[in-house]
A and B are shown apart, each in its own frame.
Chain A
Amino acid sequence: EADIYQTPRYLVIGTGKKITLECSQTMGHDKMYWYQQDPGMELHLIHYSYGVNSTEKGDLSSESTVSRIRTEHFPLTLESARPSHTSQYLCASSELDKNYGYTFGSGTRLTVV
């Protein structure tokens, strides 16, 4: 079944640790996105990609980095986690140049202590 997967669902980690949030999709979508979501706030785009070897920063400044070596995989990395990184991170994908909307993953809720 075509879908988009995020792991882990929940993560509690200490300050200064390096973490990678995984996102994979089986739909062959060219476009992939990372959003940061805080309670009561709009979703903020932090990274996006239009295809393999394409990565761009979004509207919200983020200390994270992303890579797109394979179409289906779009991991997000924080080299040194801080409490200010505590948030929910949502990965999404869509078809290129089509307004069919996004398909979202279930999200990763990150807590940095």
Chain B
Amino acid sequence: AQSVTQLGSHVSVSEGALVLLRCNYSSSVPPYLFWYVQYPNQGLQLLLKYTTGATLVKGINGFEAEFKKSETSFHLTKPSAHMSDAAEYFCAVSYTGNQFYFGTGTSLTVIP
């Protein structure tokens, strides 16, 4: 079965430090890959996506992610964390465009 694994349900970083949120998928077929962010009491907002082409994709709010086929990974990074980045982050994959599979989410805390 297709699945998405997000390592670390909670990640804490200091303000200004590097943010690294991990996502791995299990499939021999490269999927389409997405990162979503969810702020408290809100729905999910698309941060960035990889469909085809360049494997390093840039999203909103200074986030970027790199698709590494050999590692079946799509880790999310941001060079310098800001307090406003505190939120829940979800990795998702899609193979057909008709259904998405979400990870369990990673809660990011930014320490002043």
A: residues with CB less than 8 A from B are 4, 6, 9, 31, 35, 40-43, 45, 48, 50, 90, 92, 94, 97-107, 109
Contact = CB atoms under 8 A, between A and B. Distances in A.
Given A48-B99, A98-B97, A40 B43 contact: no
Chain B interface bracket (under 10, 10 to 19, 20 to 34, 35 or more): 20 to 34
A101 B102 contact: no
Interface of B: 4, 9, 32, 34, 36, 41-46, 49, 51, 90, 92, 94, 97-100, 102-105
Given A31-B98, A40-B104, A43-B90, A99 B43 contact: no
Contacts of B36: 101-102, 104
Given A41-B105, A42-B103, 8 more contacts: A31-B98, A42-B4, A42-B102, A92-B44, A97-B98, A102-B44, A104-B36, A109-B41
Q: Is the interface of B mostly helix, strand, loop or mixed?
A: strand
B45 A41 contact: no
A100 to B, nearest CB: 7
Contact of A99 (B42, B45, B51, B103): B51
B32 A106 contact: no
Nearest to B44: A104
Contacts of B99: 45, 48
Nearest to B31: A99
B104 A99 contact: no
A105 B43 contact: yes
Contact of B49 (A50, A90, A99): A99
A102 B100 contact: yes
Contact of A102 (B9, B41, B46, B103): B46
B9 A40 contact: yes
A40 B105 contact: yes
